């Protein structure tokens, strides 16, 4: 059994610069990863895929998943059989802006590479990741990075290891396509230079406004995080609906989590730290 973690991804900043003729958008984003997320297990055997965990129900009956797509793309690229029994432990909410499916696909690629002795920096793995989705290369890299293009052009940056973080999702699934389609088309400028936290604080998420129009509960989540003490940064991640706060101290994160769980008992909260 090979076990790979699929940590949650957050966008510390996400600047949309232009619409592209291929239907994608030119972006700049600061990726960061948490110490918690989903888990992908790979065992010997014929091709199979099982989902378990608290959010397994959201993928029930889904015959085509990014994990299985990753496995078949890997078999094609490396001219091998598409074998392997995958189990996905789904701990992250789906369609939530924290890269759950992309992280799962990247973890599947890492598991297959470990099984076959393929170096994790093999360019073929990143080519597969790029074909699977815009966030998959960043999740395969698995460290803080500046992403350009669709997000697949990566420049690693020094991270904020162990900084306390709280994720909050108001129980709303938001599809990426409609949020990008609702972007107003205005280029508000590039991500600046300097240390990662400073760049993030001076940045923004250009998808927040359209996402809030689609899912107003995002505004409620941001307000509750802003009102909590000891924050360094509060922002929506990706195209939503998950929002996050970075904290000075674990005690501040814990107090905020308790307050939000009391005020919104149906919401999803994850207390973690940056990797």
Q: Which candidate in 36, 38, 104, 135 is catalytic?
A: 135
What are the strands of the beta sheet with 231-236, ordered from one edge? 231-236, 243-247, 164-169, 268-273
Q: Do residues 10 and 244 make contact, with C-beta atoms less than 8 angstroms apart?
A: yes
Whether residue 90 lies in the annotated active site: no
Q: Which candidate in 9, 36, 104, 252 is catalytic?
A: 9
Whether residue 162 lies in the annotated active site: no
Q: Is the dihedral of CA 102, 224, 13, 270 positive or negative?
A: negative
* Residues with active-site annotation: 9, 135
């Amino acid at each position: 059994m090979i076990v790979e973690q699929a940590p949650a991804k957050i966008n510390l900043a996400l600047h949309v610069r232009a619409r592209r003729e291929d239907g994608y958008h030119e972006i700049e984003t600061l990726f960061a990863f948490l110490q918690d997320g989903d888990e992908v297990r790979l065992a010997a055997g014929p091709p199979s895929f099982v989902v378990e965990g608290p959010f397994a129900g959201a993928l029930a009956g889904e015959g085509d998943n990014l994990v299985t797509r990753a496995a078949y793309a890997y078999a094609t690229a490396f001219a091998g059989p598409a074998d392997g029994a995958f189990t996905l432990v789904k701990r992250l909410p789906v369609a939530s802006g924290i890269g759950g499916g992309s992280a799962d696909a990247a973890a599947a690629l890492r598991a297959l590479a470990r099984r076959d002795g393929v170096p994790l920096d093999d360019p073929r793995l990143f080519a597969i990741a790029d074909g699977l989705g815009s966030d998959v290369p960043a999740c395969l890299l698995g460290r803080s990075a500046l992403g350009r293009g669709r997000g697949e052009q990566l420049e690693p940056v020094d991270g904020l290891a162990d900084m306390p973080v709280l994720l909050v999702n108001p129980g709303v699934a938001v599809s990426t396509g409609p949020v990008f389609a609702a972007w107003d088309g205005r280029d508000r400028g590039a991500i600046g230079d300097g240390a990662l936290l400073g760049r993030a604080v001076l940045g923004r998420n250009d998808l927040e406004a359209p996402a809030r129009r689609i899912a107003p509960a995002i505004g409620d989540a941001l307000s509750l995080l802003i009102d909590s003490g000891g924050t360094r940064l509060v922002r929506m991640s990706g195209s939503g609906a998950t929002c996050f706060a970075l904290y000075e101290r674990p005690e501040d994160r814990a107090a905020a989590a308790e307050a939000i769980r009391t005020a919104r008992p149906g919401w999803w909260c994850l207390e973690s730290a940056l990797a």
